[in-house]
């Protein structure tokens, strides 16, 4: 099983600042990686797929990069609605696996 490790577990950021989230895979997943955002009481929402492609309707302040085992999600200027938990997921190998999540909270 591929283990996805996200860091940090919690990120405290002020509105308007930049946030950088990391995701590491225990073995290469090529570009078969997604990022999801989840707000309290809501289902997750697809932000990024193919490691760097924004899903429909996702604002340009969300960007992502990486391939192989190292991935990054960047939120260029945090808005109030961006404070949430973010998960990465690899879809390269069975079983499909998620990272433990990074909570982005207001500083």
Partner 1 sequence: EVQLLESGGGLAQPGGSLRLSCAASGFTFSSYAMSWVRQAPGKGLEWVSLIGDNGDFTNYADSVKGRFTISRDNSRDTLYLQMNSLRAEDTAVYYCTKDLNGYPPHFFDYWGQGSLVTVSS
Shortest separation between residue 98's beta carbon and partner 1, angstroms: 4
- What is the distance between the alpha carbons of residues 48 and 51, in angstroms, rounded to a whole number? 6
CB of 10 to partner 1, least distance (A): 13
Q: Can residue 32 be called a binding residue for partner 1 (CB under 8 A)?
A: yes
Does residue 87 interact with partner 1 by CB under 8 A? Answer: yes
b/e burial code for range 82-103 (CB count within 10 A of at least 16 → b): bbbbbbbbbeeeeeebebebbe
Contact residues for 45 (Cβ-Cβ < 8 A; gap 6+): 36, 37, 38, 55
Q: To the nearest whole angstrom, how small is the minimum distance from the Cβ of residue 85 to partner 1?
A: 8
Among 45, 52, 61, 76, binds partner 1 (CB under 8 A): 45
Residue 96 interacting with partner 1 (CB under 8 A): yes
| By the rule CB under 8 A, 40 interacts with partner 1 | no
On whether the CB atoms of residues 99 and 33 are closer than 8 A, the answer is no
Residues that bind partner 1 (CB under 8 A): 1, 32, 34, 36, 38, 43-46, 49-50, 55-56, 87, 89, 91-92, 94-101
């Amino acid at each position: 099983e591929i283990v996805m490790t996200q860091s940090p577990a919690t990120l405290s950021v002020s509105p308007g600042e930049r946030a950088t989230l990391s995701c590491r895979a225990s073995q290469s997943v090529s570009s078969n990686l997604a990022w999801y955002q989840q707000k309290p009481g809501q289902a997750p929402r697809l932000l990024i797929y193919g490691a760097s492609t924004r899903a429909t309707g996702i604002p340009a302040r969300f960007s992502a990069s990486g391939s192989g085992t190292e991935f990054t999600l960047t939120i260029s200027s945090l808005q109030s609605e961006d404070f949430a938990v973010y998960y990465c997921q690899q879809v390269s190998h069975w079983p499909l696996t998620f990272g433990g999540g990074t909570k982005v909270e207001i500083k």
